[in-house]
Amino acid sequence: MTAGPEQADLWTYRSGYETPADFDAFWRGTLDAAASHPLDLTLAPVATRLRTIDVFDVTFRGFGGDPVRAWLRVPRHRSGPLPAVVQYHGYASGRGHPLEDLLWPSAGYAHLLMDTRGQGGAWAGGHTPDPVGSGPSYPGFMTRGITAKETYFYRRVFTDAVRAVEAVRAVDLVDPARVSVVGASQGGGIALAAAGLVPDLRAVHLQAPLLCDIRQGVRQSTDGPYLEIAGYLGTHRGAVADVFATLAYFDGIAFAQRATAPAWFSTGLMDQVCPPATAFAAFHAYAGPKEIRAWEFNGHEAGGSLDLEIALDAFHASSGTTGTADDHGAVQGRTGP
């Protein structure tokens, strides 16, 4: 571990990350290959005791045409096309149970929660396998296929994320012009990738995002997924340059430089999993309108429910959701020191 910028320096910190010259060509080719597969979207109603929300079991085809699972939750009493939120979940988690994550449909949105392929064995169950193999890797997901950009695990995940946006836009009850993306930790990193790869999103919310300013994260974190990369490089000592050459195609800074939708970032200044400097690096690079809230005495949970209040208020304004919203609990973000 190395020391990161002091809290007062976070507003001026800029990453030393450099975008590969063929970054856009790589992702254009990746997404074009995915688009060659039909989306094959299916929605199966799920019977629940919920009175105000309908739940659907969703399948669509992601990277390589592989089936990806998701839950779609929508308000039962609805009229007209709905704004939609696509959510990506945290590291090693899955889409969980149909009765979980009811915030967004309760607020009037169509809510698609995507499985992350191969994950879901830690704290919320998943149902999407990753059929692609890997060479030697450290336990976890961060180093799977890390010897080349073509085989890296997150190439498949980020492609699935883009296809998830396409999937929710293909649902009849959704307004395709009002789709936003959200995520915390790994989910925040995935959401940022989607924001950089999908040019016409309505809004973005990123809570303590992973996969941003990755080299700094590997150097500075003392807990969480970045330690897998450090562990791998501790064994594969001669692979440092090649590993970070691969990771350069998946760093949130590059996606932030290409994202234009209004974005709300948050970070805990005591976060040892996704150090605050990494969130600020992505924030500073972000090309669209942006705000960030830094929580002085919080760790990886960042602002928790208060971040959700910020997102609800912001998305209400940007998505034109019908209904009313109270302002008493809103916490304003910051665009500068």
Q: Which helix (H) or strand (E) holds 294?
A: strand 290-295
CATH value at residue 210: 3.40.50.1820
Q: Which residues are catalytic?
A: 185, 271, 300
55 is a domain residue: yes
Q: Which helix (H) or strand (E) holds 103?
A: helix 103-106
325 is a domain residue: no
Would the annotation count 249 as a binding residue? no
Pull the structure tokens for residue 239: 């692979």
Pull the structure tokens for residue 179: 């789709």
7 is a domain residue: no
Pairing of β 204-207 and β 263-268: parallel
194 is a domain residue: yes
> Can you give the residue range of the structural domain that contains 65?
20-319
pLDDT confidence of residue 134: 77
Instruction: Look at the pTM and tell me if it is higher than 0.75.
Output: yes
pLDDT confidence of residue 333: 34
Phi, psi of 235 (to 5 degrees): -95, -45
- Residue-wise pLDDT tens for the chain (337 aa)? 566 676 769 999 999 999 999 999 999 999 999 999 999 999 999 999 999 999 999 999 999 999 999 999 999 999 889 999 999 999 999 999 999 999 999 999 999 999 999 998 766 788 898 988 777 787 899 999 999 999 999 999 999 999 999 999 999 999 999 999 999 999 999 999 999 999 999 999 999 999 999 999 999 999 999 999 999 999 999 999 999 999 999 999 999 999 999 999 999 999 999 999 999 999 999 999 999 999 999 999 999 999 999 999 999 887 654 432 333 222 233 333 3
13 is a domain residue: no
- The number of folded domains in the chain is 1
Residue 38, amino acid: P
Q: Which helix (H) or strand (E) holds 233?
A: helix 226-235
Q: Which residues contact 215 (CB under 8 A, 6 or more apart)?
A: 16, 17, 244, 247
200 is a domain residue: yes
DSSP 8: G
C-alpha–C-alpha distance, residues 285 and 212, integer Å: 10
